[in-house]
Amino acid sequence: MPKSLVVVESPAKAKTIKKILGKDYIVESSVGHIRDLPKKELGVDIENAFAPKYVLIRGKGKVVKSLRTAAGKVDNIYLAADPDREGEAICWHLAEELKKTKKPIHRITYNEVTKSAILDAIETPGKINIALVDAQQARRVLDRLVGYLISPILWRSVKPGLSAGRVQSVAVRLICEREAEIEAFKSEEYWTLTATLTPIAVEHPFPAKLHKIGSKKGEINNYGFRIDEARAKELAADAKTHDYIVEKVQKRERKQRPVPPFITSTLQQEASRKLRFTAKKTMLVAQQLYEGLEISKEGSVGLITYMRTDSTRIAQEALQAVRDYIKTTYGTEYLPGRAVNYRGKKGAQDAHEAIRPTLPLRLPAELKPYLNSDQYRLYELIWMRFIASQMNPAIFDATTIDVKAGTYLFRATGSVIKFDGFRRIYMEGKDDTAADETDSSEENVRLPVLKEGDRLDLRKLEPKQHWTQPPPRYNEATLVKMLEAQEIGRPSTYASILSTIQDRGYVNKERGRLLPTDVGRLVNHLLIHGFPNIVDVEFTAKMEEQLDTIADGKVAWVKTLGQFYPPFQIALAEAPDKMYEARKAMEEESDEKCEKCGGNMIVKWGRYGRFLGCANYPECKSIKPLTTDDTPAPEPEETDTACDKCGEPMVIRVSRAGSKFLSCSAYPKCKNAKPIPMGIDCPEAECDGYLGERRSRRGKVFYGCSNYPKCEFSTWDKPVPETCPECNAPFLVEKTKKAKDSETVTALLSCYRSDCDYTKG
């Protein structure tokens, strides 16, 4: 008979641990949290020290009953959820439900799901860390107060279904502020002059950029001058009349050190840059690698350490293993004299480790047959980063040559790698910046051997026009980087923040970039005026710091909530009036006249974004939609199609995003709307619908059936009315293929059916 019950939060982890512990243990899963605040009420007794009212989550009654039954058969209970605040809270709720069995309850923690880690944890059980539970409880209650009490105000001010969040609203604000920066940016013209020079004795052309004219440096990136075309050509003509003589040669050795092993935020950033994973997908795949996968004869094995961490610490045995691997595989020249230790950021939980392979000798290539594509690519990324973090720096020979031509000073820079070091296996990806076109990499530019006084031949002098660039929109990687830099949110929250702000329709993603929707901008504007603290970056960061203090056991969570609530309560009372005034202030005059009463039309903000409304409202309720470029939408086009709901004629309208759709002419009495037919019938059996262009909640174009939601057929690829010659499928879809070693993109037509390989290009 089993002697102990081990409870984890995940079925996959339970499967791995069961194989490790054997028949003396019952291993069960709680399948996440078992209790939470109720969905249909606040669930917080504000007058009674913010006491939370926890209820069993719907469907978890059977889970709890099963766990109690299992607990009755054993001598000991081990609670083994993840080693963080959320995991500690899960264990506390489990303990509250299982304490009625009167069996000893222990808490065990581990950073990896491996045999040695699990057995060590069982041998050294502890107690539930109440400080961590309090920190999670404070966060949960705080988020409930903010979301539950602010959201109804937004429903009345904008539209039902909107939500405010303590951290998500700050993320939306950052995106809105970046968009405002881009819109306000005024591009400036500037010019660069690049000379192609070569030593007289040897043919070795190299570029040198104009750096100074007299004592005046280039104003943009040291090489760009704010001049017009005429002045640029005048300078070029004058510079050609001078002799070019080497004024100074500087040589130095430059080291590039490896980056630390991954923590949660850097893993999300790098997976976004290199793998094009969303933060949510990164965490989902990392969870699979952590909890265990079937690997040949080994069975279910955890392949990486815990993936929600802000610590760069590495266990001693892992350091020894990776150093042995580097020495054996790459040689002693790649191995530092001692292990590389990385300094953690302020507030990092050093009880955790960095994200690393549980066994460095498990090479990605050896695991490839057992992993799907996403699992393999993410494991390879984690493995390479970890190995590289313990290798020697790369070494470059860097050279700077200053060339004088009269009052003009040209500068050439070059850098040649002398020792590849950690770069032999890994290079960190780069974020887009607002860098202008004058930026160029000096890496692997080999300059000729020159000395001061050498004369050079001028082969070409080319003036080139540039324009300053606005800051780029955030992508998921750069937004996570900004949130971390501002100390907003924590490792476990970044993925859900990014997912939530898109799901709520506050932010759309276009070509990987995050941009605010009209609704997102409106809600952000209203929150700034109604609840300035809630969307204040500094205030939110300080609140995160206080939650960390609670987790360290230095302050009571009730005290923190007690300090937060009184000013918040005042803001709740004042917000509706402030939001009304803020919304009125957003209205703009337009040149349009009302077609019904002749009054002026005003640009207003509503539940679907910007629109034109009559200034004589409420006497005149005339409205007109706007397109994305703020021009009035064209008048609806008549069609011969009748509405299948009310019989009135259907018309073609243009959405705010610019796409056309069919809509009932009796709108708003009848709100029937359908996509415009593409001439392709829905391929689903017994469906009489047709395919048309639609948009997802996040604004992304897809193609779906006109009978949605009765028929859910959809595809992201654009259908083409051409029968597949191999399987007779009724249509093909447009796809693109990018060549591996170039930027060339090829358009293809493929069969839409997954079991047919037909493609033509």
Q: CA-to-CA distance for 504 and 603, rounded, in angstroms?
A: 24
* CA–centroid distance for 701 within its chain: 20
Cα–Cα distance for residue pair 235/229, rounded to 1 Å? 10
> Which is the catalytic residue, given 78, 244, 306, 330?
306
Are 421 and 391 in contact, with CB atoms under 8 Å apart? yes
Query: What number of CA atoms fall less than 13 Å from residue 140's CA on the CB side?
Result: 24
Cα 680 from Cα 231, distance rounded (Å): 59
What are phi and psi for residue 203, nearest 5 degrees? -80, 100
Instruction: Retrieve residue 363's tokens.
Output: 């090479």
Number of other CB atoms surrounding residue 301 within 10 Å: 23
- Kindly tell me the burial class for residue 598, based on how many C-beta atoms sit within 10 Å of its own C-beta (0-12, 13-18, 19 or more): exposed
Catalytic residue flag (residue 306): yes
Q: What are phi and psi of 248, to 5 degrees?
A: -155, 140
How many CA within 13 A on the CB side of residue 283? 17
Cβ atoms of 281 and 374 closer than 8 Å: yes
- CA 116 vs CA 158, 500, 542: distances in Å: 55, 38, 39
Name the token pair of 328: 């054996």
Which residues 6+ apart lie within 8 Å of 532 measured at CB?
Answer: 571
By CB atoms closer than 10 A (0-12, 13-18, 19+), residue 24 is: exposed
The 3-state secondary structure of 571-611 reads: HHHHHHHHHHHHHHHCCEEEEEECCCCCCEEEEEEECCEEE
| Closest to 701 in 3D by CA, of 760, 662, 660 | 660
Tokens linked to 224:
């760009």
Report the side by side order of strands in the sheet with 623-625.
Answer: 588-593, 600-606, 609-614, 623-625
Q: Considering Cα of 217, then 222, then 227, then 231, what sign does the dihedral take?
A: positive
340 with 258: CB under 8 angstroms?
Answer: yes
CA distance 677 to 136: 51
Residue 437, φ and ψ in degrees, nearest 5: -65, -15
In the structure encoding, which two tokens stand for residue 386, read together? 């970890």
Tell me whether residue 252 is exposed, middle or buried, using C-beta atoms within 10 angstroms of its C-beta: 0 to 12, 13 to 18, 19 or more.
Answer: exposed
**Within 10 Å of residue 639's Cβ, how many Cβ atoms?**
13
Residue 643 CA to its chain's centroid (Å): 42
Say which DSSP state 360 is in: T
Tokens 């048309």 belong to 692
Pairing label, strands 673-674, 701-705: unpaired
The closest of 197, 366, 228, 234 to 295, measured between CA atoms, is 366
- The total of other beta-carbon atoms located within 10 Å of residue 341's CB is 11
Q: Could you tell me which of 519, 449, 474 has the C-alpha nearest to residue 204?
A: 449
**Residues in contact with 366: Cβ distance below 8 Å, sequence separation at least 6, in sequence order:** none
SS3 category, 29: strand
Task: Name the residue among 668, 671, 585, 658 with its Cα closest to residue 623.
Answer: 668
Cα distance between residue 476 and residue 466, in whole Å: 28
Catalytic residue numbers read 306
